[in-house]
Structure 1
Amino acid sequence: MMKHSLMLAACSLSLASVAFAEEPVTSLEPVVVTATRTPQADSLASVTVIDRAEIERRQARSVPDLLQGLAGITVSRSGGAGQGASVFLRGTNSDHVLVLVDGVKIGSSTAGQTPFENLPIDQIDRIEIVRGPRSSLYGSEAIGGVIQIFTRRGGGALTPRVSVSAGSRGAADVAASLGGGGEQAWWSAGANLTSTDGINACDGRASPFAGCGVEQPDRDGYRNTSLSLRGGYAFSDAAKLDVYLLRSENRTEFDGSEYAGNLSRAEQQVLGTTAVLQPLEPWTLRLTAGRSWDKYRAYFEDPDTGADETFVDSFDTERDTFSLQNDLTIGTAHLVTLGLDYQEDRVGGSVDYSEDSRDNLGVFGQYQGYLGATDLELSLRHDDNQQFDGHTTGSAAIGYRIGPDTRVSLSYGTAFKAPTFNDLYYPSYGSPDLDPEQSESLELGLTGILPLGASASGSWDVRLYETRIDDLIAYDAAASAVANVQEARIRGLEVSSTVRYADWSTQANLTLLDPENRSEGPSQGNLLPRRPQQSFRLDIDRQLARWAAGASLYVAGRSFDDLANDDRLDGYALVDLRAEYALTQALKIQARVENLLDEDDETAYLYNRPGRSFYLTLSYQPASAN
């Protein structure tokens, strides 16, 4: 990853063409596009790339499972499969991470979060995780970082893929996809059905209210039906077009009440297109347009009598986005990016918001310089929002190579998060005078290649950072509404390493975190909720002819579920095992044991997590399948 032989001309390649590339996570030099919105093989930011081969090697059953334990990431889950999952990136709030699917922003404009638990992992080709502030390129929400998901692309010869899984608690999964297109075209179509009887999500107590303050000792099942379509054509090296659709429909049972329901039906959909033009050799023009939907319906079904479902509530989000980006290569050492983003959000449902739409126009610029042993990145952005007027963010990063295999970097960035519609307009709760939450971050990084000789390879990455967040939005009892009343200071250390020797592969991630509440009052100095101060993940795998086997260890220290730090969440350790056998070159069988030691882990107060679980998968996938 430390080689400096990447020509700057590669940075002017289209986002689409790089996003479609088969770039395995086992490579020391994965090309990423999310960190700077341009192709990079040597990012100054802290980046993790997970490709399709890694997803299948880990036998991950959901996106939260895949993210758990990566450096800087904490996942809190309110029950088993399909239950709410919150992703905390570098100790920031769960709504401080920007989530994109093929370049289109997703998530709820009312709740302010992305339902990671409902994203269909069978339709994902690649995930890029960028840590640290990125508002200077993407605007609101990118305080902790950005997670971008790329769907399957297809291309080449006609290639099918089919998999069937079954496991504990009635878990079943059927997935199929077909891709092709030849040399200039690409297309892929896929679908999957996932279901499980689930577990009793809540270990609560008798109460008329919603959440885990209720007592419903029943299994909470989950069903997900998803569809992915993608197609494109390269008219020439200078003109490409890509169109994509991802849709997910979900039915989730949970422990609730007649006031908030105990059954939800949700839909998430992304529809977008990207056109890439190269009018001149040093100039690449990229246009992206998309629409995302997030719909949620809550019902109540009497758990004792099984009475018919009663409608309780609904929340709808429709978001239109448009992006125009110009990448200008100057000589062989400079890349300038100029662009604008437009976004319009519309909300609806059973709640009567005083305002149900708003738009945002963001204008940004970026400079990347490759000056001998020094790399330089500068970016600046201004967002003009219909609700809170203007907000400017910026970032600067510099990297210096100490010899051929080591680099030190220093970066500073500001970021912000716009208030949600619930924050602003929810009846008897919101406040239309809220300001955006804002942050500043400083990071010191050291990365390198391990000198292991010709028969082995390895890399390592160390990051030390501090983030200060002001004007955090929280409920103000004195005003009987939300207000900008909280502050936080987050200090962290992330260490990650990958080593490959012969048939062995190991990956290790360590995170040490000090997420301190700096708000005035009785909670000052306490830890921010649901963020353990220590976490560690170790993956060990071995490939032997037709056999492959691996194990994962994830350890998390204690944390708290509330600002007062009264509700303690004990530390825990999880061990997973996996194995696979190739019956033929295209047909293989996989087996996985989750939570081998039957650990009673709790990542949200009073919410249960599955015990020991077993899964078996049979899949057919020719070597060239995407």
Structure 2
Amino acid sequence: MTRHAVGDVTGCTHRVPSCTLLPPVRFHAIRAGRRGEGVSVHRHAVVFRRATLASTLSLILFPSIPAFATGAAVDLDQVVVTATRTARTQDQTLAAVTVIDRAEIERLQAPSVPDLLRGRAGISLANNGGPGKSTSLFLRGTESDHVLVLVDGIKLGSATNGSAALQDIPVEQVERIEIVRGPFSSLYGSEAIGGVVQIFTRRPQGPFEPNAMLAIGSEKTRRASAGLAGRRGDDTRGGWYSLQAAHETTEGINAYRGTRNFDPDLDGYRNTSLTAQGGYRFNERWDGELRVFRAEGRNEYDGGPASEADSVQQVLGGRLRHAPNERVTFTASAGGSADLSDNFFDGVFSSRFDTRRKVGGLQADLGIGAGLLTLGFDWQRDEIDGTTAYAVDRRINRGVFGQWQQAFGAQSLQASLRRDDDSQFGGETTGSVLWGWDFTDALRLTASYGTAFKAPTFNELYFPGYGNPALGPETSRSVELGLRGAHGWGVWSLNAYDTRIDDMIAYDADLGDFGGPNNIDRARIRGVEATFDTTVLGWDLSGSLGWLDPENRAGNAGKVLPRRARRSARIDLDRRFGDFSAGASVTGVGERFDNLSNTTRMGGYGLADLRVGYALSNDWQLRLSLNNVLDKQYETAALYNQPGRNWLLSVRYRPGR
């Protein structure tokens, strides 16, 4: 259905200097990587082990130390930036974080970004009819517009309906994804009630890295991608570049089986995308980056006010960073994003919804004593245009924030405070505190408290005949307790949380002549997440388990919030046999309801995906994925079909390292 309608935060890239890391104190990330991966951390959890004094001192890095000159370069796969807006190794991060790197993306052979995220800790998805169709992501039971989505540090999404079109970002353009669970408005402002999902586009690690892929599959699916990337220079001066193009087309499936605008034909999807980016380090004190991502899509669908749509997702960004000394870094960034949609009904133009967003920011990272102080200013301007006339079609938000990070022996602290001033609804202040205690060599206890908010969308405020300009922001407060461990057999994490959301925006039948949105809803969401990563008889085994109680506490008090399952699980199993590889993923989702009154039930389901690969040479690989091998019929949104058994065969070229 129609949507009605990004440079990374710190600029930290593979083997590039100026990444501010706090001392790891007693722990460091370890793991012998799989073939071709080198050394990296576990995929789904944090590994702890007592560090020697020498290794600890070697990692006390400040912004201008070139290329981690004290030792081997630190790979971005070991660094998380989303949880703090500064670079931290995964074992230092106090928030609940999942990182999906490029090696895992290629190993799992997921056909899309939503498929890659399916079943991850805290995540529920609702898709309107197969490949390329509108997909909503619910994180920790919060609303789909309570999740902040970033592409290389730039906010992605539509200001009219508040959603981000994850389905329009091709997997071939993605280098890694960081999923940070919990309230983070104190660093990012609006929308980060459930958490933050940041997608990083592909970038190089070596001097020259070409790649190419061709694939065919079910529903006449055709895919192709090619790219060039590389970096030149030394630790004090040099540049990098990356250019990646991708195209995919599929006949799709019959998306909708309801009665509204029912059409039993196949609903196809086409996407063409390009990423171009580069950076240069002028000397030990100055470096900068520029990047652009654009994806153009053509989508066919049923059940809505239109039957086809041409869409564009675009992100532009640039960053300049100056490190006058070893304890101070200043970063200036600017950019913008666009969500553009032209809608048609049976080939006749019907509507246009365009969102354009401009952003800018200043950030200072100051090493003070044993801690790191971060101060920042964010500016954002949203503009909408199209065939629908809104009473107000632009707004500006300004935000200032501060954050303190410090380790005290076996304990760590992260505290942040932010003030946002929005031209539509006024000001909002949010804050958070995260604490960690490494009480043994293998165990870490974490606790946190945070507040967050979500600004109302243009549709909720001003859509003709529906909007309510008196709306205020939705607000939340969350507490969380976590435990992480590492042992000889593997690593694991366990997190329990309680989130209470006030002033949720819901339809109010008593508002105006025809009803409309109002701040009348409330919710309490409790949940437990568990992740694990281990090796059993030579097989790499990882997964996540989740229990959720998303309770509505207002007009439908005691009911479950729609499209959230109380129970969910995902297990990934992979192994190499020389030049062969084999794997499987199993996802289980409990029953859900499609409406607030819980009268439309969607049954639980289990999906099984299989994959095999063969290395034709050091540079060429042949891969086959079989998805939904049991041909399970299921739905994630009522009346919208999901793909049955399907396959994809690909050949990939990437020079061995």
Q: Relative to structure 1, is the Cα distance of residues 283 and 80 closer, same or farther in structure 2, using a 3 angstrom cutoff?
A: same
Q: Residues 534 and 556 of structure 1 are in contact (CA less than 8 Å); yes or no, is this contact kept in structure 2? A: yes
Give the alignment of 1:79-90 within 5 angstroms: 79-90=129-140
Measured after TM superposition, the shift of residue 14 of structure 1 is: 9.8
Q: For 1:357 and 1:216, how far apart are their aligned partners in 2?
A: 37
Residue in 2 that maps onto 1:464: 496
Please give the alpha-carbon distance, in whole angstroms, between the structure 2 residues aligned to 1:44 and 1:126: 20
Tell me which moved more, 213-222 or 91-100: 213-222
Aligned residue identity for 2:170: P
Shift of 1:503: 3.9
CA distance, structure 2, for counterparts of residue 262 and residue 149 of structure 1: 29
Deviation of 1:256 (Å): 3.7
Contact kept, 8 Å, 2:66 with 2:284, in 1: the verdict is no
Query: How far apart are residue 158 of structure 1 and its match?
Result: 2.3
2:228 is the alignment partner of 1:228: no
Paired position in structure 2 for 1:37: 85
Displacement, 1:131?
A: 0.2
1:557-576 maps to which residues of 2 (within 5 A)? 557-576=590-609
Q: Give deviations 1:322-377, integer Å, cap 9, x for gaps.
A: 1111111123x211101110000111101101111110110000001100011011
* 3-state SS of 1:181 partner: strand
1:304 corresponds to: none
- Is the 8 Å Cα contact of residues 23 and 51 (structure 1) preserved in structure 2? no
RMSD: 1.8
Tell me which of 317, 330, 334 is aligned to 1:285: 330
TM-score by length of 1: 0.93
Match of residue 269, structure 1, among 311, 314, 323: 314
The correspondence for 2:551, drawn from 513, 516, 537, is 516
Amino acid at match of 1:387: Q
Match of 1:312 among 350, 353, 370: 350
Q: Give the match for residue 343 of structure 2.
A: 298
Query: Which residue matches 2:61?
Result: 10
2:498 counterpart letter in structure 1: E
Shift of 1:601: 1.4
In structure 2, the partner of 1:323 is 361
Counterpart Cα distance in 2 of 1:60 and 1:17:
34
Q: 1:105 aligns with which of 155, 158, 165?
A: 155
Letter in 1 for 2:61: A
- Aligned residue among 496, 512, 530 for 1:495: 530
Supply the distance in 2 between the matched residues of 1:550 and 1:598 (Cα, whole angstroms). 18
Share of identical aligned residues, percent? 48
1:182 counterpart SS class? strand
Q: Give the number of aligned pairs.
A: 594
Which residue of 612, 615, 623 maps to 1:590? 623
Task: Give yes or no for the alignment of 1:389 onto 2:389.
Answer: no
1:68-83 superposed matches below 5 A:
68-83=118-133
Moved more, 147-156 or 600-609: 147-156
Instruction: Tell me if the contact between 1:172 and 1:194 (Cα under 8 Å) persists in the aligned partners.
Output: yes
Task: Write the deviation string for residues 428-473 of structure 1: whole angstroms up to 9, x where unpaired.
Answer: 1111111000000000000010233xxxxx2111000000001111
Aligned-partner SS, 1:423: helix
Structure 2 CA distance for aligned equivalents of residues 451 and 154 of structure 1: 33
- Are the counterparts in 1 of residues 125 and 136 from structure 2 also a CA contact under 8 Å? yes
Q: Which residue, out of 112, 116, 123, partners 2:166?
A: 116
Structure 2's unaligned 5+ residue stretches are 1-46
Match of 1:10, SS state, is coil
Structure 2 letter corresponding to 1:529:
P
1:472-551 to 2 correspondences below 5 Å: 472-479=504-511, 480-500=515-535, 503-519=538-554, 521=555, 523-551=556-584
For 1:366 and 1:486, locate their aligned partners in 2 and report how far apart those are by CA, in whole Å. 31
Query: What per-residue deviation string (whole Å, max 9, x for no partner) do you get for residues 160-219 of structure 1?
Result: 1010011001111001001123132110111111110000000112xxxxxxx3321110
Give the 4+ runs in structure 1 shifted more than 6 A. Answer: 13-18
Per-residue deviation, 1:156: 3.4
Aligned partner of 1:218 in structure 2 is: 265
Aligned partners of 1:79, 1:22: CA distance in 2, in Å? 38
8 Å CA contact retained: 2:401, 2:419: yes
Q: Is the 8 A contact 1:546 1:582 kept in 2?
A: yes
1:342 aligned partner: 379
Shift of 1:12: 3.9
Relative distance call for 1:36 and 1:13 in structure 2 (3 A) is farther
Segments of 5+ residues of structure 1 without an aligned counterpart are: 25-29, 206-212, 302-308, 453-457
Give distance in 1, aligned partners of 2:93 and 2:535. Answer: 22
Tell me if the contact between 1:241 and 1:273 (Cα under 8 Å) persists in the aligned partners.
Answer: yes
Q: Does residue 240 in structure 1 map to residue 291 in structure 2?
A: no
Conserved? CA contact 1:316–1:348, under 8 Å: yes
**TM-superposed deviation, 1:524:** 1.0
> 3-state SS of the aligned residue for 2:61?
helix
- For the Cα contact (< 8 Å) 1:169–1:198, is it kept in 2? yes
Determine which of 254, 258, 278 is the counterpart of 1:200: 254
For the residues of structure 2 that align with 1:243 and 1:500, how far apart are their CA atoms?
A: 40
State the shift of 1:15 in Å.
Answer: 14
* 1:583–1:172 Cα change, 3 Å: same
Aligned to 1:623: 656
- C-alpha contact 1:201 1:609 (8 A) present in aligned 2: yes
Compute the displacement of 1:492 (Å). 0.2
1:420 aligns with 457
Question: SS at the partner of 2:407?
Answer: strand
Q: Distance in 1 between matches of 2:180 and 2:61?
A: 20
User: What corresponds to 1:131 in structure 2?
Assistant: 181
The answer on whether the counterparts of 1:11 and 1:38 sit within 8 Å (CA) in structure 2 is no
Are the aligned partners of 1:11 and 1:40 in contact in 2 as well (CA < 8 Å)? no
* Distance apart, 1:4 and its partner CA: 6.5
